[in-house]
Amino acid sequence: MQSKNEPDGQKRSFIEEARRAQIIAAAVQTIASVGFPKASLARIAATAGISKGVISYHFAGKDELMDQVVVTVYTDIAEHLLPRLAEKDTATDIVRAHVMGVAEYALANPERMRTITEIFVHDRDAEGVPRYGALAAEPLYESLETLYREGQASGELRAFDPRVMAVTQQAGIDAMFGYWMARPDTDLLAHARELADLFVRAVRPD
């Protein structure tokens, strides 16, 4: 058996990689449809049409599986978002592109978006401590913070606490998605445009 070896030792076999991808996809689908608390390994296995033991064979445990799901989805979001941000010049335009980019991604990939939200909110270790707590958002906050600071240095943005602005912008985006999930009839892109306006007004000089 070689399932126990991380990418450290040998490379993973083709079939091994395919199974892992299949199981990750089944996990995304299951979590999105029944929510994290009811997405047991048995249920994920059923979604994939395999026996429960296969998951244990290919992943060290549920924790490793969830980690892989998060990495997979995050990479996907970054691939969608980063190019859009790179082509903007001003901080204001980047803020707008950030809000709009996430909304576009969510509209195109609601399953992945819902899954990652579910994992962030619900996944906890044996002691009840969140496995993706405030720490997970930290890199995000830092990059937004850097963006704001540069805009403030150039005089494009007013003086404000960049950390509070970053936390609030991220919260506004998350809430937009949550609201849309609960009320799919609403116009997500219109919400995103309003939200972008809101933050542009919040950061610009008097």
Contact residues: DNA, CB under 7 A: 1-3, 13, 15-16, 19, 38, 40-43, 50-54, 56-58, 61-63
The answer to whether the beta carbons of residues 83 and 172 sit under 8 Å apart is no
Directed axis angle between helix 14-34 and helix 41-48, to 10°?
110
With CA atoms as reference, report the closest residue to 57 among 21, 22, 16. Answer: 16
State the Cα–Cα distance between residues 40 and 10, nearest whole angstrom.
30
Structure tokens at 35: 């929510």
Residue type, 77: I
**Burial class of residue 64, CB neighbours in 10 A (0-12, 13-18, 19+):** middle
Residues 45, 86 contacting (CB under 8 angstroms): no
108 binds, among a copy of itself, DNA, none (CB under 5 to 8 A by kind): none
Binds 15: which of a copy of itself, DNA, none (CB < 5-8 Å by kind): DNA
Three-state SS for 29?
Answer: helix
Q: How far is CA 98 from the centre of its chain?
A: 13
- Tell me if 63 contacts a copy of itself by CB under 8 A: no
> Among residue numbers 118 through 157, which ones bind a copy of itself (CB under 8 A)?
121-122, 124, 128, 133-134
Pick 29 or 56: Cβ nearer DNA:
56
Contact between 174 and a copy of itself by CB under 8 A: the answer reads yes
Interaction of residue 182 with a copy of itself, rule CB under 8 A: yes
Q: List the single partner that 19 binds among a copy of itself, DNA, none, CB under 5 to 8 Å by kind.
A: DNA
User: Of DNA, a copy of itself, none, which one does residue 176 interact with (CB within 5 to 8 Å by kind)?
Assistant: a copy of itself
Residues of this chain that interact with a copy of itself (CB under 8 A) are 34-35, 37-38, 121-122, 124, 128, 133-134, 160-161, 164-165, 167-168, 170-172, 174-176, 178-179, 182-183, 190-191, 194-195, 197-199, 201-202
